[in-house]
Structure 1
Amino acid sequence: MQVTITFMRMTVAPAYPRFLLPTGWMLEHGVHPSVADYRYLQDRVGRSCCWWMRQAASDELLSRILAQRGTAIGLLREYSVVRGFYELDRRDPEDVNLSYFGLFPQAIGRGVGRAFLDGVLREAWRGPTRQVRVNTCTADHPRARQLYLQAGFRPVRQVDELWNVPDRLGLDIPAHLRV
């Protein structure tokens, strides 16, 4: 599949008023999922966007990533039900990468995405953070790029990549991305 990746960064912490999640929704920071639970989160959020890299990784590699100092995972919950997740890479506490962020399909369109991202960004800016980075691509949800722009990210560069997504993952490659 061929994608265009947009690399974005934010160099100033959010200065706008906090976006609040609806009643019954909450962010849970500092989660330590098992490899199986992590694969589940990746699949629920990323299946429709062809998130394949972590799904193709071995259990051993995922276990190392999850145990790595600086990997921070959190969940978005509606009451006790998980509705999304995020992953921050804080190995360099001054340069935080929002590695993964997204909603489960049943949470999309319910007006929680902006507040979810706001809560994650405020978590990312805790500490000596000087910038937060994220990248999005043409396989992501069509509103992802606009959401990042609204939150204060600015594009740095774009690159075109050809991804050889393993058939064994059973992902449906959208027609507009097939080569």
Structure 2
Amino acid sequence: MEPVSRVVVDVTFLEMLHPPKLQAPDFLPGWHIELLKTPSVALYRKLHEWVGRNHCWWMRQVKSDLELERILREPRRSVFLLKDKDEIRGFFEFELQPHKTVNLAYFGLVPEAIGRGIGKIFLAQVVKLAWSGNPRRVTVNTCTADHARALTSYLSIGFRIVGVIREDWDIPLRLNIPIPQHLV
């Protein structure tokens, strides 16, 4: 059996049934969202490591390259980058689900972009993009391993909590993912 760190997290499921009433603020000059038309497995792994390392994003990291390739080729999945000119500053992933639902599967900034005031603008622009296809609802989940402001940010833009579950995660030690102190 592989050595693991056992982590207990509360996962909060959220939904939004109507677009936000407030207009999304514009990005700062040079900042923009870019669709990755054919994301490579290597870049996808790098994004998960870079953005999610400090928040226990391990579930994609344990998958084989073949499994990730299959995920990335799913026709109802899209991966986007947040860029400041040519520099990657974050990413997000949409999954189109049944019943006209857009799920924000992953969302985050690289550590160097956190605390610069871009997170709220980024989230507002992502939600605006999610609603551009006229879905019935937009969903997202977050957990107690995510950034401390994640849940508050989702609630402030208009998501509402639809459920919370407790999960036991066995994070393989080989991934070398630091466990946030509040989860130890």
TM-score if structure 2 supplies the norm length? 0.93
Structure 1 residue 157: Cα displacement: 0.9
Task: Measure, in 1, the Cα distance between the counterparts of 2:140 and 2:133.
Answer: 18
Call closer, same or farther: CA 1:31–1:146 in 2, change over 3 Å.
Answer: farther
Contact 1:45 1:105 in 2 (8 A): yes
User: Which has the larger displacement, 124-133 or 164-173?
Assistant: 124-133
Between structures 1 and 2, the one with greater strand share: 2
How many equivalent residue pairs?
Answer: 178
Distance 1:92 1:110 in 2: 36
In the alignment, residue 126 of structure 2 is paired with which amino acid?
Answer: V
Determine which of 18, 28, 48 is the counterpart of 1:42. Answer: 48
TM-score by length of 1: 0.95
What is the Cα-based RMSD across aligned positions, in Å? 1.2
The answer (yes or no) to whether the contact 1:69–1:91 under 8 Å persists in 2 is no
Q: Deviations over 1:47-94 (max 9, x none)?
A: 000100001111111100100011011110011100000000014371
Name 1:20's counterpart in structure 2.
26
How much does 1:115 deviate?
1.0
Q: Contact 1:98 / 1:134 at 8 angstroms: preserved in 2?
A: yes
Letter in 1 for 2:116: R
Return the alpha-carbon distance in structure 2 between the equivalents of residues 46 and 112 of structure 1: 17
**Structure 2 unaligned runs (5+)?**
1-6
Q: Give the fraction of aligned pairs with identical amino acids, expressed as a percent.
A: 47
The match for 2:105 is 99
Query: Does residue 136 in structure 1 map to residue 142 in structure 2?
Result: yes
Report the alpha carbon displacement of residue 136 of structure 1 after superposing the two structures with TM: 0.5
Q: Where do 4+ consecutive residues of structure 1 move more than 6 Å?
A: none
Q: 2:113, 2:76 → 1: CA distance? A: 28
- Larger deviation, residues 168-177 vs 23-32: 23-32
